[in-house]
Amino acid sequence: MSSWGAFLGLAFQLALVLLLTQRFGIEVDRGLVKLTPLVFGGFLIHAILPLRLRLPFFLALSIAGFFVVFETHLAAALLAIGLGLIAVCHFPVPWFLRIVLLVGAGATLTAMCAGWIDAEWGRRIMPILGSIFMFRLVLYVYDLRTEKQRASPWETLSYFFLLPNAIFPLFPIIDFKTFRRTYYNRAANEIYAKGVSWMLRGILHLLLYRLIYQNYTPPAASVHDLGTLALYMVSGYALYLRVSGLFHLIVGMLCLFGFNLPETHHHYFLATGFNDLWRRINIYWKDFMMKIVYYPIFVRLRRRDATLAMVVATLVVFIVSWWLHSYQWFWIRGTFPLTIVDAIFWGIFAVAVLANSLLQSRRASARSLKGRAITPRAALARSLKVVSMFSVMCMLWTFWTGGTLEAWNRLLAAVAHVPTLQYVWMATNLLILVGLGVAYQLLVQRRWEQWQQRQSFARRSWASTVLMLGLLLLGTPELSGLHDNRLVVSVRAERLNEQDQALLLRGYYEEVLESERMLGGLWQAQANKPTRGFLLRQSGTMRYLEDEIHERELLPQIDTIFRDAAFRTNDWGLRDQGYSLAKPPRTCRIAVMGASVEMGSGVRNEEVFEALTETLLNEANTGISYDCYEVLNFAVNGLTNLAQVHLIDSRVLAFDPDIVLFFSHDADRRLVMKHIERIIARGTAIPDDLRTLLLGHPSPETIAEGSPESRLTVWRYQKSLLRWIYTNVVTSCRRAQVEPVCVYLPFPLGVVEPESARGPRMLEVAAECGFETIALQGDVLRPEGDTTSLVLNTWDEHPNPEGHRRIAKELFRQLIEHEHALGLGLTYNVDEAP
Amino acid sequence: MADRQNEITTATKAFILKEFLPGEDPDELLDTTPLLSGGILDSISTVKLVGFLEDTYGIEFQAHEISEDHLDTLQLVAQLVQEKLGSS
């Protein structure tokens, strides 16, 4: 095939890859869609330009990318600060002074990033600015000092302002020397083909990540035997696919512009030991640490004692790695988490790598130039090592990402008493894996490698094209007809899984996410969270009441920003306008009970559906029964149904409501169970009948012990518990002559509910307990086209203003429909409802 | 000059074959075979090679010289050692 023919083929493949990123919404929040025309158009133009013009063109393209993604003033600020930092590296002053100046500039940016200098624009560009300079500046200065051949301004500027960096804050640490050395060091089409292939590989990693994250990542609380523990650990480690996927996508994109960079990851799940893993996983990080930390220490100490040099250099590398992970997090998120779990993780890793290194330094490590035939013994040894290393990493990773020692202890406690047979079963499974590994090496591996070598460029291209077309078909339900297939739907768009949605709904960040480091969806949520007022606790808006069942309440007279939206509370600590405690005459009062959705997380006060419903009711008022309708919002972020029971008695009834709207979501039962675990662990008093219901006997201490039996007991009773909650709400309301209404609201909006949906079943229980019931599931709550059109964004699926508007409309319509039970006095034709 | 470089190449090749490629055909290891980028030398093997060169030729490596730019082939290794011997 001619070189132009091959290029056109690659351009077609790139178009398919970019189409795939659009179809599957890859990094849609980050703005990859916006960058797509630049990548494709830029690739075509760049490739036909003379070589001397390509680097300036790439730089111009990258800068255009920053302006496309950011608002003009932010992109300009980012470029100006970046140019300033680069200029400092070239000041005609001694090196020491340049370093001092850079540290000074870094300190100023640190203050901005940490919020000590109040600059909104600074905070908005800091993740990307940090991502560009936090490591690359170190490498640049290092190479500037040691390299004989000066880099051209185009090389320097292109190195810092890399096109994909406009959208990806988590970026591989690209070495400046490698960046320069590999630029068009092979035939152009070969590099482009590698780029397209790696981008495709990145997409496959990301889709696999979604598949695992959405379908095979169980909650820690569900671990009760070795099987569930294994699934929990393996899926947790597998979530790292997200990082390798992104890095492949980034480096693949750079290959399209002639930067023939090496792999960032290489079959890391198949590592045979800690050293091997260190060489395979995030290879650029390893190279950075070797260059900046290991070799300088080793060279200095080797003369004294080579072994000592190796020990010290290795230990320092891991201490610095630990610190730099927090440093990296600081620039991306503005906090600097250093936890004991991090220290233990890096400590174990350091000791294991050191032991491996010492062993390796004492004995010859055999490698092969041509690839030897694999003997059964070698295959068995390798397979055993891979399975063992993978198992150890699953455990270590689970420990690390769990965030706390308590979380790890809870997991171990959950499997402390499993029967011996389960261990036999687990060992058998591992042996089967080893056997499969041996069989693969002996029967498939060599043939597969030889087959791959025999394939021509054209044939490999065809195979990739067919794969991409297949994926496109999968991502296009209109063509594939796979509208409702659970697995296919789960990979089609980026969203939180059920477990993380529940955590988001409960206000998980307020309680648990102290470690601020995760690799699952919540990690992304954290990395993408709004710049202003993410945590109610941190914004001083919430009061925590450890001795009370309801645990939390909003403070009165707050005027702040929460998740980028204006947030105000009235004199009573309600997110609402001002109301008197005593109900005015001829006024109908409706109390809304709920959590973050009802409180209006991420939208302004006046956009919350509760406020909109009040407006609709008053606009439709005919004055027959009431002069006015007041809808009071008692919802608080993270308030569970159990907390609401308590709140109705202690707070809501004092406002003399006529109707209580008790909102329910799918995750309620699970959140209530977690709530109970918390209050029992804290020793908060719970009603006797509830305690009896939970345990079958009156001693709550057995739950606090956290034994698997008590945990199971709690979970078994969750349905009865829901009934207990509903009955108590109804009893309290009826006693005060208030009409209790249970309102089911799906979370997130727009999700097609399976037939087995819990919502309707929850409402059945509510009705049996005496609630009037309303299900907000009308078509009005189904988004047209894009499933994210009614939610804040892909990672925070709380309703956006349009979502709230639709909820209000549907709630209003349903309230009118239930006139017979509620007696609102609205004679309104529901078909005419706005 | 060329003899000296050949001598360094031969000694380095012998060391690599003995330490990292036992049993391999010496003819397969060419002066241009990529050592670091080809995966024959990893970080531990690289520092072992550096140790060997420092001890054998009485030279000292700078940290930045332990890189693909200087050690990726026998040819590059010999050039670097030769330079160091020439400047010492």
pLDDT 10s digits, A604-662: 999 999 999 999 999 888 788 888 999 999 999 888 888 888 889 889 999 999 999 99
- Taking the Cβ of residue B47 and every Cβ of chain A, the question of whether any pair is shorter than 8 Å is answered with yes
pLDDT of residue A715: 54
Q: How far apart are the C-alpha atoms of B35 and B19, rounded to whole Å?
A: 13
Domain limits of chain A? 31-181, 521-722+785-832
Residues 226-265 of A with CB under 8 A from B: 262
Question: Could you tell me the pLDDT band of residue A408, with boundaries at 50, 70 and 90?
Answer: confident
- Provide the 10 A C-beta neighbour count for residue A71: 12
Q: How far apart are the first and last CA of chain A?
A: 63
pLDDT of residue A832: 58
How far is A357 from chain B, CA to nearest CA, in Å? 7
pLDDT of residue A624: 80
Mean pLDDT of A118-132: 82
Asked if residues A795 and A494 have their Cβ atoms less than 8 Å apart, the reply is yes
Asked if residues A44 and A84 have their Cβ atoms less than 8 Å apart, the reply is no
Q: How far apart are the first and last CA of chain B?
A: 15
Return mean pLDDT, chain A. 84
Give kind and range of the element (H or E) at residue A629: strand A628-633
Residues 349-378 of A with CB under 8 A from B: 357, 360-361, 364-370
Q: How far apart are the C-alpha atoms of A534 and A796, rounded to whole Å?
A: 12
H-assigned helices in chain B: 2-19, 43-57, 68-71, 74-87
On chain B, the residues whose CB falls within 8 A of the CB of A369 are: 21, 24-25, 28-29, 33, 40
On chain A, the residues whose CB falls within 8 A of the CB of B24 are: 368-369
Q: What is the pLDDT of residues A751-800, one digit of tens each?
A: 545 444 556 778 888 999 999 999 887 666 766 655 567 888 766 778 89
Q: How far apart are the C-alpha atoms of B39 and A718, rounded to whole Å?
A: 56
Question: Could you tell me the pLDDT band of residue A64, with boundaries at 50, 70 and 90?
Answer: very high
Amino acid in position B50? V
> Across A651-801, where does the E strand assignment appear?
659-664, 739-744, 772-775
Pairing status of strand A559-562 against strand A552-554: unpaired
Q: What is the pLDDT of residues A367-390, one digit of tens each?
A: 677 666 788 998 999 999 999 999
Mean pLDDT of A52-67: 96
Could you give the 3-state DSSP secondary structure of residue A147?
A: coil
What was the ipTM of the complex prediction? 0.92
CA-based torsion, A447, A450, A454, A455: positive or negative: positive
How far is B88 from chain A, CA to nearest CA, in Å? 17
Question: Could you tell me the pLDDT band of residue A173, with boundaries at 50, 70 and 90?
Answer: very high
Q: How far apart are the C-alpha atoms of B84 and A827, rounded to whole Å?
A: 97
Mean pLDDT of A398-404: 83
Amino acid in position A296? P
Q: What is the pLDDT of residues A264-287, one digit of tens each?
A: 999 999 999 999 999 899 999 999
Q: Is the pLDDT of residue A75 over 80?
A: yes
Mean pLDDT of A294-320: 92
Name the percent of chain A lying above pLDDT 90: 48
- Taking the Cβ of residue A306 and every Cβ of chain B, the question of whether any pair is shorter than 8 Å is answered with yes
- Residue A660: closest CA among A735, A590, A612, A599: A590
pLDDT of residue A751: 56
Select from B20, B40, B51 the Cβ nearest to the Cβ of A302.
Answer: B51
- What architecture does CATH give domain A521-722+785-832? 3-Layer(aba) Sandwich (3.40)
pLDDT of residue A509: 40
Q: Is the pLDDT of residue A453 over 80?
A: no
pLDDT of residue A14: 96
How far is B4 from chain A, CA to nearest CA, in Å? 25
Q: What is the pLDDT of residues A225-267, one digit of tens each?
A: 899 999 999 999 999 999 999 999 999 999 999 999 999 999 9
Domains in chain B with CATH codes: 2-87 (1.10.1200.10)
Q: How far apart are the C-alpha atoms of A540 and A533, rounded to whole Å?
A: 10
Q: How far apart are the C-alpha atoms of A766 and A774, rounded to whole Å?
A: 10
The reply to whether residue B43 touches residue A299, judged by beta carbons under 8 angstroms, is no
Q: How far apart are the C-alpha atoms of A284 and B74, rounded to whole Å?
A: 24
More confident residue, A585 or A709: A585
On chain A, the residues whose CB falls within 8 A of the CB of B54 are: 302
Q: How far apart are the C-alpha atoms of A369 and B12, rounded to whole Å?
A: 16
Q: Is the pLDDT of residue A526 over 50?
A: no
Q: What is the pLDDT of residues A184-201, one digit of tens each?
A: 999 999 999 999 999 999
Q: Is the pLDDT of residue A519 over 50?
A: no
Long-range contacts of A321-325 (CB under 8 A, 24+ apart): A321/A285, A321/A289, A321/A346, A322/A346, A325/A517
On chain A, the residues whose CB falls within 8 A of the CB of B51 are: 302, 306
Query: Which single residue is written with the structure tokens 């979604």?
Result: A210
Per residue, the 3-state secondary structure of A396-424, as one string, reads HHHHHHHCCHHHHHHHHHHCCCCCHHHHH
Mean pLDDT of A27-41: 86
Residue A494 tokens read as 């980026």
How far is B3 from chain A, CA to nearest CA, in Å? 26
pLDDT of residue A640: 87
Q: How far apart are the C-alpha atoms of A760 and A749, rounded to whole Å?
A: 15
The reply to whether residue B24 touches residue A279, judged by beta carbons under 8 angstroms, is no
Pairing status of strand A565-568 against strand A587-593: unpaired
Chain A residue with minimal CA distance to B15? A364
- Provide the 10 A C-beta neighbour count for residue A718: 16
Query: Which single residue is written with the structure tokens 């939610």?
Result: A791
Give the range among A241-245, A492-496, B15-19 with minimum mean pLDDT.
Answer: A492-496
On chain B, the residues whose CB falls within 8 A of the CB of A181 are: 68-69
Pairing status of strand A552-554 against strand A542-544: antiparallel
Question: Could you tell me the pLDDT band of residue A522, with boundaries at 50, 70 and 90?
Answer: very low
- Taking the Cβ of residue B88 and every Cβ of chain A, the question of whether any pair is shorter than 8 Å is answered with no
Question: Could you tell me the pLDDT band of residue A533, with boundaries at 50, 70 and 90?
Answer: very low
Residue A480 tokens read as 């594939």
Instruction: State residue A740 phi and psi, 5-degree precision.
Output: -90, 130
Instruction: State residue A628 phi and psi, 5-degree precision.
Output: -155, 150
Instruction: State residue A171 phi and psi, 5-degree precision.
Output: -130, 140
More confident residue, A364 or A809: A809
pLDDT of residue A463: 85
- Provide the 10 A C-beta neighbour count for residue B86: 9
Q: Is the pLDDT of residue A563 over 90?
A: no
Select from A177, A294, A306 the Cβ nearest to the Cβ of B51.
Answer: A306
Q: Is the pLDDT of residue A499 over 60?
A: yes
